[in-house]
Structure 1
Amino acid sequence: MDTNLPVSGNPRVVIIGCGFGGLRLAKSLRHAPVQVVVVDRNNYHNFQPLLYQVATGALEADSIAYPIRKIFAGQKNFYYRMADVQRVDPTSNTVVTSVGDIRYDYLVLATGSLTNFFGLESIERNAMQIKSIPNALNLRSFIFQNFEKALLTDNPEEKQALMNIVVVGGGPTGVEISGSLAEMRKHVLPKDYPELNLGAMQIFLVEAGPALLGPMSPASQADAKRYLDELGVRVMVNTSIKRFENCRAYFSDTEFIPTENLVWAAGVNGAEVPGLPAEVVARNKRITVNAWNQVPSLPNVFAIGDVANMVTDEMPRGLPMLAPVAQQQADHLAANLQRLLRGETPKDFVYTNKGVMAIVSRNKAVVDLPKNIHFNGIFGWFTWLFVHLMTLVGFRNKVVAFVDWAFSYFSSDQALRLIIRPFSRKDLKDDKGKKSAEHRVATPQYNAPPPAIQAPAAG
């Protein structure tokens, strides 16, 4: 029944997911009179804000990941099980997993988020994403494999499609990966591929809204756009990619960008867990919670972080899906669980906005702090580096990331250009780890005259 978990006289708190929220909650319960059980399909915590640097070769994967068991070594009330969660059964207080059923007294859903493709099937089947370390490694391999292919073809249309990169989504992830790719085009690729005309390579950042970095201040939006323009990224706002097929990213019925490399960073949904009442699951798959992070009608079930939809007067669409929200909710929930154990009334959660930031490239970043404080440039860049370095889990990861960043800064180079495991679209997997439908993008017949390519205007 309980996957060999020891019997304890203390209540059992089962936490599904070891992201920012789950990790913080388990740590915060270190001295609480409870048995803490964390269930996650991976045996490591991964630092998602730096996945794009793994994808572009600035950092190696083990620089942003840390073993869960090592994080909690010495925490006597902690247990971990590596498993896929299949569903929860609130009537029997049970989590059904791939390795057996786990009973709980309190259940905390900290499952994070999944990529939202908005029902665009051709993009879901064939676009690259960067929500996990395998995603990031696949993207890195795929980009460099396509440059190897570009060396082998004499067809100019095929060569252009293999070199062009389209990033969809103008949020922090899209801006950061676009800037990183532009730096790679300038400093790295000319050394590795002197035979290619890299001046013809184009990087597009496509955003459906009127501006980049929608949640940030107008000053940050303008600064980010200016930095990307300086890097030669072609920014397209008020534009949506409607389908991706035949190595073409269509933004209208007839207009397209020739590319084999489409990176989808346009939106996320909550990673809901089957078994909850339908009425508590919001439209974006987030789970409705009250001010205690408690799921309505389920008094011993809670949700925190990206998957939790906590609506406030100030944020009627729910708190933002940011790491600081998850961490603050985790700390607050840890205190509330102990209040419940003592028979006390939990306290309401109040989010403290500590600011948001985004990096574009070396010496170029934007930072928004409370009270309308904004700064950018090299000071913003150093602020971004410091915050992310301090937030990384593990002393070794901090040191390795610092050394890699210092090397890249002074050498204008990124050493991690390895195709360790060649990637093909037929290897694409869905978020449950199962193979997706076979790649259905037909390889264009480049020896036939292609339709006229409508080159989009920048800006």
Structure 2
Amino acid sequence: MEGLAKIEDLGKPRVVIVGGGFGGLELVKALRHVDMQVILIDKQNYHTFQPLLYQVATAGLSPDDIVSPFRKIMDEQANFYFRLAEVQRVDTVAQVVETSIGLVKYDYLVVATGATTNYFGDEQMQRNSIAIKSVEDAIELRNTVLSNFEKALQLGDEEQMNSLLDFVIVGGGPTGVEIAGALSELRKHVFPKDYKELDFKQMDIHLVQSGPSLLKGMSEEAAQKSLEYLRNYGVNVILDRRVKSYDGYTVTLNTGETLITRTLIWAAGVAGAPIDGIRKESLLKGGRYQVDEYNRVAGYENIFALGDIAAMITPATPEGHPMVAQPAIQQGHLLGQNFARLLAKQPLQPFHYHDKGAMATIGRNLAVADVKLMGKDYRTQGFLAWLMWTFVHLISLIGFRNRLFVLLSWTFSYFSNDKGLRYIIGKRREPMPVEATTEKAIV
């Protein structure tokens, strides 16, 4: 058995938090003045602002703009300890977390591992498509898009060339809608300048949504307006269709229709990322742990779960809270307060979600917003919604540097209609080999 990881024992109650997403990070902050030893374990040494990953993927922002090192964020928090490691399993009897650097003891364990891409068991789709759940994914997508255009310049076969220019996005939620809009703006303003030899009238952007409308969970006005905006941008929005298969070249829908592309972007669903060792009876459909109103995992007194991995089943939320940032942040904040109450032997406070609404941006001056203020619903679209989306995302970023650099990047892009980060560095998805019959370009 592995030895103990080297972490000083302070002789205080120890809470181990697995995952530094929105929920885990908020919990760490909420425990700043609580007399506990707080240990955060994550396989990355930084927090990622995931709502803006699509902008990294479409050359609008640098990866550095949306990440913040945990040690920098918590540099003044005396009770905070961070360990860069991968969690392998939990021994709930011995109360230790087994990691790639050894065993970490806990008095209280908080699982805040978030969500992973859900391919619904389709291994071919997982192998051939690109998702956007991490910085690495976003960089890979950006590199792949730019590399494919470079390859298209070398081809003489029109069908093969078009397959490199065309995109299929699966999933009509905020991620799918936003990346479709971003690609449309690149097609109109940026790519024709970079690749003058290519005809971008041949660049097709298809957005496939299995349901009858976009942005499930938002208002009908938001769904209809986003559909209108995307179609005006020239996006082919395909509703009530499911992608049945994708072999790296041909996309087959459940209706038998086919689309040709070398780049399929999967934004169709997520599932929780559970940890081995926690009883399977606590795990619900979708890979989420059932938790009570205090975020305790069913069957345990000292194990908690936050955010996407937690399903708090109530009459108002029969499938748990939505897998977005706000429930995770609010749960993390309350759980920090409840740990203080727990140490003081005071009653815990139950969680009540305060829904602040949802937003999605489609492009320049175009967004949709459903906002809840003072118990009232406000719905707006267009320029005002775009301003609201911009402001909310800007102030939600961690750190002055990130806010400043993102503001400067957005200002530059707004007035220049340009995306300045069109470089190919690192991993890219290589397309399937071109047919032997394809003509070789003569340079």
**Shorter-normalised TM-score: what interval?**
over 0.9
Residues 153-175 of structure 1 show CA distances to partners (whole Å, capped at 9, x for unaligned) of 00011001000011100000000
Q: Which runs of 5 or more residues in structure 1 are unaligned? A: 426-440, 449-459
Of 414, 421, 440, the residue aligned with 2:419 is 414
| 1:307 aligned residue | 309
Q: Deviations over 1:279-338 (max 9, x none)?
A: 101110011100000012210000000100111211111110111100100111011111
- 1:71 equivalent to 2:73? Answer yes
Residue among 373, 378, 386 paired with 1:381: 386
SS at match of 1:189: helix
What residue number does 2:399 align with? 394
CA distance 1:258–1:337, shift in 2 (3 Å): same
Distance in 2, matches of 1:329 and 1:197, equals: 50
Residues 17-416 of structure 1 mapped to structure 2, 5 A cutoff:
17-252=19-254, 254-370=256-372, 371-416=376-421
Counterpart residue identity of residue 20, structure 1: F
**Would you say the 8 A contact 1:48–1:132 is kept in 2?**
yes
Would you say the 8 A contact 1:128–1:139 is kept in 2? yes
Give the AA of the match of 1:42: Q
Q: Measured at CA, do residues 447 and 85 of structure 1 come closer, stay the same or move farther in structure 2, by a change above 3 Å?
A: same
| 2:435 corresponds to which of 418, 423, 445 | 445
In 2, distance between residues paired with 1:216 and 1:8? Answer: 47
| 8 Å contact kept, 1:293–1:304 | yes
Letter of the structure 1 residue corresponding to residue 140 of structure 2:
N
Which whole-Å deviations, capped at 9, do the CAs of 1:181-236 have from their partners, x for residues lacking one? 00010011000011001001100110001100011000000010000011100000
Q: Partner of 2:441 in structure 1? A: none
What per-residue deviation string (whole Å, max 9, x for no partner) do you get for residues 326-352 of structure 1? 010011101111111111221110000
Deviations 1:402-458 (A, max 9, x none): 000000000000000000125235xxxxxxxxxxxxxxx86463739xxxxxxxxxx
Q: What is the rounded CA distance, in whole Å, between the counterparts of 2:133 and 2:175 in structure 1?
A: 10
What letter is aligned with 2:41? V
Cα separation, 1, equivalents of 2:256 and 2:221 = 35
Paired residue secondary structure (2:88)? strand
Q: For 1:246 and 1:47, locate their aligned partners in 2 and report how far apart those are by CA, in whole Å.
A: 29
Q: What is the root-mean-square deviation in Å for CA atoms of aligned residues?
A: 1.3
| Partner SS state of residue 32, structure 1 | coil
Q: Which amino acid aligns with 2:159?
A: E
Aligned pair count?
Answer: 433
Q: Secondary structure at the match of 2:75?
A: coil
Aligned to 1:433: none
Determine if contact 2:141/2:429 at 8 Å carries over to the other structure.
no
Q: Please state whether the residue corresponding to 2:413 is helix, strand or coil.
A: helix
Question: Structure 1 residue 253: deviation in Å?
Answer: 7.1
Rounded Cα–Cα distance in structure 2 between residues aligned with 1:326 and 1:135:
22
State the distance in 2 between where 1:254 and 1:76 align: 60
Choose 212-221 or 311-320, whichever is displaced more.
Answer: 311-320
Unaligned residue ranges in structure 2 (runs of 5+): 439-443
**Counterpart-to-counterpart distance in 1, 2:166 and 2:142:** 14
Q: Secondary structure at the match of 1:242?
A: strand
Q: 3-state DSSP class of the match of 2:211?
A: coil
Q: Helix, strand or coil: the match of 1:372?
A: strand
Secondary structure of the 1:284 match is coil
| CA distance in structure 1 between the partners assigned to 2:347 and 2:90 by the alignment | 26
1:12-38 deviations in Å (ceiling 9; x for gaps): 010000010001100110000000000
Q: What CA deviation, in whole Å up to 9, does each residue of 1:107-164 have, x standing for no partner?
A: 0001000000011221111100110000000000000000001000000110010000
> Counterpart of 2:390 in 1: which secondary structure?
helix
Contact (CA 8 Å) 2:241, 2:255: kept in 1 or not?
no
1 CA distance for matches of 2:382 and 2:46?
34
> How far did 1:275 drift?
0.7
TM-score, scaled relative to structure 1: 0.93
| SS in structure 2 of the partner of residue 15 of structure 1 | strand
Give, in whole Å, the separation in 2 of the partners of 1:194 and 1:424.
24
- Describe the SS at the equivalent of 2:151: helix
Give the conservation status (yes or no) of the 8 Å contact 2:139–2:427.
no
| Secondary structure class of the residue paired with 2:183 | helix
Distance 1:259 1:446 in 2: 18
C-alpha distance in structure 2 between counterparts of 1:349 and 1:254, whole Å: 46
